[in-house]
A and B are shown apart, each in its own frame.
Chain A
Amino acid sequence: GEDVEQSLFLSVREGDSSVINCTYTDSSSTYLYWYKQEPGAGLQLLTYIFSNMDMKQDQRLTVLLNKKDKHLSLRIADTQTGDSAIYFCAESPNILTGGGNKLTFGTGTQLKVEL
């Protein structure tokens, strides 16, 4: 089945860039996502990338996708204390194959931003 892997922890200093990495196994993934979970809250979609794209930029966020290596990364520029959260990578198959839009989530990366 599908598998999505991430490192568990990342610590950065305020103002530095953060890079969170993810690897996945399902080559038929059509969308790949980054969700953010703040303490005591549910997950919120941060950004996503379609599988035919290599890069997507959205303000301080840059998503890079290497389909050959099945590697996804999220770069947060000028990291702030408010970025401290758990970041989940997720992938989904072609929605036209059915299965109810299921997502497969990684284990999550706890980002800690230090002053």
Chain B
Amino acid sequence: NAGVTQTPKFRVLKTGQSMTLLCAQDMNHEYMYWYRQDPGMGLRLIHYSVGEGTTAKGEVPDGYNVSRLKKQNFLLGLESAAPSQTSVYFCASSAFFSGKGNEQFFGPGTRLTVL
């Protein structure tokens, strides 16, 4: 049981390049999330999904797209990377109901640098 995994762990892009971050969970969770973490700003929600085939915007969606074609996977895309997207990206998942409120399980993060 790997929990939540993220690929890749590190990436350096040039401005204007595109990339996709992959998140996978093996807990059969309905909900999945993408956050970015920046110093002094905590975690901010980019996009989330309440089930296979659904996506919704979070707090900071601009410049990102997502897809959830399979229940266990949630992809985050950057079509044209900008230096402002330099950040650490975390994926998380949660069950519809759990014994600990809305507990979310986090992946280890992807550190992205855009030059």
Report which A residues bind B (CB closer than 8 A): 4, 8, 30-31, 33, 40-45, 48, 50, 88, 92, 95, 100-103, 105-108
Report which B residues bind A (CB closer than 8 A): 4, 31, 33, 35, 40-45, 48-50, 56, 58, 90, 92, 94, 96-97, 100-104, 106-109
Given A42-B92, A100-B50, A102-B45, 9 more A-B residue pairs with CB atoms under 8 Å apart are A33-B102, A41-B108, A43-B104, A43-B106, A45-B103, A48-B100, A92-B101, A100-B56, A101-B102
Q: Is the CB of B97 within 8 A of A100?
A: no
Query: Cβ of B103: which chain A residues have Cβ within 8 Å of it?
Result: 33, 45, 48
Nearest Cβ on chain A to B42's Cβ, whole angstroms = 4
Nearest Cβ on chain A to B25's Cβ, whole angstroms = 12
Q: Is the CB of A42 within 8 A of B4?
A: yes
Q: Provide a sorted-by-A list of 6 A–B residue pairs whose CB atoms are within 8 angstroms.
A: A33-B101, A33-B103, A42-B106, A43-B106, A45-B104, A105-B43
Measured CA separation A45–B100 after assembly (Å): 9
Query: Cβ of B42: which chain A residues have Cβ within 8 Å of it?
Result: 4, 88, 105-108
Query: Cβ of B43: which chain A residues have Cβ within 8 Å of it?
Result: 43, 88, 105
Nearest Cβ on chain B to A63's Cβ, whole angstroms = 13
